[in-house]
Amino acid sequence: MQPLRPTPDELRLLHARETLDRIEAQVAAGSTDLADLGFWTIVASIKRDPVWVIELADQAGRIDRDLFRARVRLRVPVWVGTAAMVLTVLVGVGAVVLSAAWTGVAAGIALLVAGGAWSLGVHSPAHQAYAWFAGVGVTDYFLGGPPPPRPGVKTDYASYLRTEASRRAWFHASGAIATKIAPFVAVALSPLTNAPGWAVIAMAAYGVVQIATDIVFSTRTSDWKKFLRERAIARESLRP
């Protein structure tokens, strides 16, 4: 009795596994350009095939983790990053209190500090909170991303790949949304403070500029680009 020949799907999976083996060996040898190695092409296929997710997510996660650790030096444990972001948010709360206690220019500057601190401090915790909700693991806080560098959270990529595409999309959007809301929270609280009108207008303008920047840049390079990518994958999965 002749052995059964592998099906086309089995052959494709075997080829993908061999490709990941090659990439993993090259990363271990010091290669750092995953796009050039073909990693993201394989990842795009993994996201679209539940069988590939089961078979290949762990290996893809190891490759992503090893490269992250090799390339990113400014990283800390999750609890350290979380504490730093909570402290940043509390700085904003304190600035609002000071804006209510002070008058004039000092009160205005305090309001601006509050909005800026909240914009920075809520971004990564929003990602982290949604990751917990969606079942995505978070392994590190780090400083990086498109200029200017800012705190970010590193996912456990295997759990990220196992998460449904629409949830991956909203994971990416969560931090961006929180950051854009933060300045307008400061504006909403301004009647409780002594901040002069110019500070309130400046804070509102800061919020508008952030939104405009997202529209122009983030849809091409950052959170919203990833959101659109994962939403497209989610829509593909709904097609008959």
Instruction: Kindly report, residue by residue over 117-131, the tens digit of the pLDDT.
Output: 999 999 999 999 999
Per-residue pLDDT reduced to its tens digit, 165-186: 999 999 999 999 999 999 999 9
Dump pLDDT digits (tens) for 191-235: 999 999 999 999 999 999 999 998 888 788 789 999 999 999 999
Query: Above pLDDT 90, what percent of the chain?
Result: 88
2 confidence band (pLDDT: 50, 70, 90): low
- Which residue from 44, 24, 37, 27 is spatially nearest to 226, judged by alpha carbons? 44
pTM of the model: 0.93
What are the tens digits of pLDDT across the range 58-111?
A: 999 999 999 999 999 999 999 999 999 999 999 999 999 999 999 999 999 999
Q: What is the mean pLDDT of residues 40-46?
A: 96
Structure tokens at 201: 């207008």
Burial 135-159 (b: 16+ CB within 10 A, else e): ebbbbbbbebeeeeebbbbbbbbbb
Q: How far is residue 99's CA from residue 105's CA, in Å, rounded to a whole number? A: 10
DSSP 135: T
